[in-house]
Amino acid sequence: MVVFPNAKINLGLRVTSKRQDGYHNLDTVFYPLPYHDILEAVQVKESSNEISFVSTGKKIEGSQENNLCIKAYKLLKNDFPSIPKIQVHLHKLIPMGAGLGGGSSDGAFMLRLLNTKFNLGLDETKLIEYALMLGSDCPIFIKNKPCYATGRGELLEEIGINLSDYYFLLVSPGLHISTADAFKGIQPNSSITTCKEITSLPIEQWRDSLINDFETSVFQIHPDLNAIKEKLYQLGAVYASMTGTGSTLFGIFKQKPVFEKIFDQNVEIKLIDAVKK
């Protein structure tokens, strides 16, 4: 069985308070994008391991045991021992550690794949519970629709925002942003206009009010990211921002942008023609 885990962006990202459990309460709008990895799982009979995992494409850092696809399998296997041995192939295309949720998407799609392939009968609510055990960003990929998110990002409310008439330009400079460093410069503020309210306004009004709180601290450490954001506006973006804690910047355009020779050669650029999705 083959599935195609997709990326997301954050339309605004505010930190509203520090929680007693050490996490932070967030206010954001998740917007899925048609930018995919490829994930395949095949049942096998002859194998010394419950799950065999191989990856191609972009190099995945860290040990296999920490890969969310493997964690997702083991999480469900614990509750559903009848799940057979499988061989998994992940072809990685979405940049990692870039705020696009690629790893979280892989883990969530693994849960969905196993649920479908082996008829586990898990509904959306239960899949979201399992996804949250994998990480705060994973539940959005169970719904996989534009959602207003609060809490750690797991409290999801579907909203009717539709950007299908726009182009998205993603610029990933390949920097790994430490989440801990990103949070160091954050001052939580609960007195905000929510991202849900702002994104209900015309997109032309977002630029000065739809904010990613992490840009302040991350741009101080990596000023080149701020320069990329400015270039996106110079290209004609109606809205541009960093997604998540970075390091990917995105611009939303009414017309297809002409970006060749604008950015340095060491950045990865992905143009998403949302009109055709």
State how far the Cα of 262 lies from the Cα of 235, in Å rounded to an integer. Answer: 9
Reply yes or no: is the peptide bond before residue 63 cis, omega within 30 of 0.
Answer: no
Nearest to 69 by CA among 30, 37, 26: 37
Mark whether 79 is an active-site residue.
no
The active-site residue, picked from 27, 37, 137, 213, is: 137
Mark whether 8 is an active-site residue.
yes
Lookup: tokens for 44 = 């096998």
State how far the Cα of 270 lies from the Cα of 267, in Å rounded to an integer. Answer: 10
| Number of Cα atoms under 13 Å in the Cβ half of residue 203 | 16
User: Is-contact 244 99, C-beta < 8 A?
Assistant: yes
In the DSSP assignment, the letter for residue 5 is: -
Catalytic residues: 8, 137
